Structure 1
């Protein structure tokens, strides 16, 4: 289990752990104790009981799993049973008559198991199938506890750059015995960090409760089980379709207006510094010639000949100085609004004229994968989303991405997105749910607000490029996902240098 020192050093872990002393696990709060838990959390009795319960069970599961992992020397030994930890209501557990699941070993480092599977393979390795069955039995209950390995149907879902994704269902001859899901999405994290995983689990749960993301079925060291929404990811070229751009703008507004209990300071630079530190630990002599794979170096421009940790550190330090001058408001941001993280519901279609057709045309899109979500400068979310218009990850051949700068949104296309964002903020304000600092932001009127946001976005393009360049160099040494991270990191760094002058303008303000 975590020591007091470890708990106190981790803001979100400390806060959640302290909260366990005020929450009895049965959906009630002990009001004799304080509900202000640590520097990064403010708990509220107004939160839905289901939200509080999911946060409680999610943390308890993670900490229990970590304790078992530590005490067993790296391998978790546990008999699969109908554990109450992942049930929504302890008092209404299903009394299953299905056969008990035999004791099994669940390896803590799921990343190693699932790394044995190749996306282009037709057959799943036995360890992958077995681990999947174990996880589903433990966290889903019901019929899942009586399934054999051959009763599972698995399908790899491509497109994830930080996670391995699998669609899991049982064969048609099997039937649910309760309200357990019949199909789920299994997400395996490629970077294991307990504090980060806790942070993401809290965020995921809150967004699920507010209809901004899939439901959470189970969370464990190394990944989670979540609701599968029949849908498809948007394609890169679809981001600029006016009908979709307006929906995306409205969704971003809903995310930015959320009051999420995480540290209310921009984490951008701090996270990038941690990534640089990891590079220093795993590849201290990293050195790459600055050559673009998909982006050409501009003539008569100043670029370093080689990229190493010192170069990246110097640019990050400059970026930090520039951001200190930024007036972009700090809000809760997704931070990775690329096409692969925006789903179009399966019953919606895009017509040849760009119009939406189907049952859910009011809310046809779902934003997913809040792995990098935290409080950040508002402009980062928009700058990152704009750049994603030119980054296409559908290339089946190395380097597994395309870059087409001609796809960058025009001023008019940007304004469509910003206007939809503004109007959604107005709607949220009318409902009395908009944070005070955003109420002040929109009080300047639509035209001025849109122009301010457009300028903010332009100046933050460089921050997105440098941030993901550092991330890519860090990923290059430890990711099982087939992707040319080094080339991607170099291309994003070249894009950083091409937009750096706009960032430096912040120093003159």
Structure 2
């Protein structure tokens, strides 16, 4: 008798003898063929119709995580990470990104460990829906691009290498495949607008996982330097904010 793989949120059940799933590695995200499969699967995923309200969860979750981080941190940690200033940063990017956005069912954590490929059929399966919710699709894509800087299977899994962030050509190729995967060719304007939105939502991704890192330091026992991870995400936020939003202000750290 074959065993069964069930993905409850997608309401799908697969007999394992038909599939040879393998989790991706960090380098796989930069493989053009695999990246194309991921882009098409993301477009399909974002079109899923899930029960319940379809409101954007990003801003509420950021503010909720900020409140939790403040409650867990020591006064020294809160001062070090300038937590009192992050509410203003959340409001700033929410206002900047409050225009007409494409909303879809987003994974919100599309790192390589949450993507599997069938070696025979070359089909992609997305797993682990702990953070899934409706959000701007540009946030989900931006988050995936940021995950290209990570390799969680090294001696220093918390260290991010931003030289591995996809360059302009790689980002354009991914977004072109994403937009065209459901049929038709995107216009240059459509492609450029999504490219711009994704880059701006990179800022939200940095705050999202920076706050996650601070919280995780206090509630998780996994051997991972969550605070250093959070520091890197906040540093990237400060580095990228002036170019992406045209404003600087005081640094978070």
2:39 to 241, 249, 257: 249
Aligned-residue offset at 1:425: 2.4
Give the ranges of 4+ consecutive aligned residues of structure 1 lying more than 4 Å apart after TM superposition: none
1:385 is aligned to 2:159: no
1:492 is aligned to 2:233: yes
Q: 1:286 to 1:318 in 2, by over 3 A?
A: farther
1:373 is aligned to 2:143: no
Q: 1:383 to 1:340 in 2, by over 3 A?
A: same
Q: Structure 2: how far apart are the matches of 1:453 and 1:259?
A: 22
1:337 to 92, 110, 123: 110
User: Aligned to 2:135, what secondary structure does the other structure show?
Assistant: strand
Aligned-residue offset at 1:322: 2.2
1:265 is aligned to 2:55: yes
Unaligned runs of 5+ in 1: 1-178, 186-203, 216-228, 290-305, 349-358, 428-441
Q: Contact 2:158 / 2:226 at 8 angstroms: preserved in 1?
A: no
Normalised by the size of structure 1, how large is the TM-score? 0.45
Q: Which has the higher contact order (CA 8 A, sep 6+)?
A: 2
Aligned-residue offset at 1:180: 7.8
User: Aligned to 1:392, what secondary structure does the other structure show?
Assistant: coil
Partner of residue 360, structure 1: 121
Aligned-residue offset at 1:424: 1.7
Q: Structure 2: how far apart are the matches of 1:184 and 1:342?
A: 15
Q: 1:484 to 1:230 in 2, by over 3 A?
A: farther
User: Aligned to 2:182, what secondary structure does the other structure show?
Assistant: helix
Aligned-residue offset at 1:252: 0.5
Aligned-residue offset at 1:274: 1.4
2:75 to 266, 281, 285: 285
User: Aligned to 1:382, what secondary structure does the other structure show?
Assistant: helix
**How many residues are aligned here?**
246
Q: Structure 2: how far apart are the matches of 1:240 and 1:259?
A: 29
Normalised by the size of structure 2, how large is the TM-score? 0.86
Q: Structure 2: how far apart are the matches of 1:230 and 1:484?
A: 33
Q: Structure 1: how far apart are the matches of 2:136 and 2:163?
A: 26
Q: Note the aligned Cα RMSD (angstroms).
A: 2.8
Q: Contact 2:105 / 2:133 at 8 angstroms: preserved in 1?
A: yes
Aligned-residue offset at 1:241: 1.1
Unaligned runs of 5+ in 2: 248-253
1:207 is aligned to 2:10: yes
Partner of residue 408, structure 1: 165
Higher Rg: 1
Greater share of helix: 2
Aligned-residue offset at 1:330: 1.4
User: Aligned to 1:275, what secondary structure does the other structure show?
Assistant: helix
Q: 1:264 to 1:318 in 2, by over 3 A?
A: same
Aligned-residue offset at 1:494: 0.3
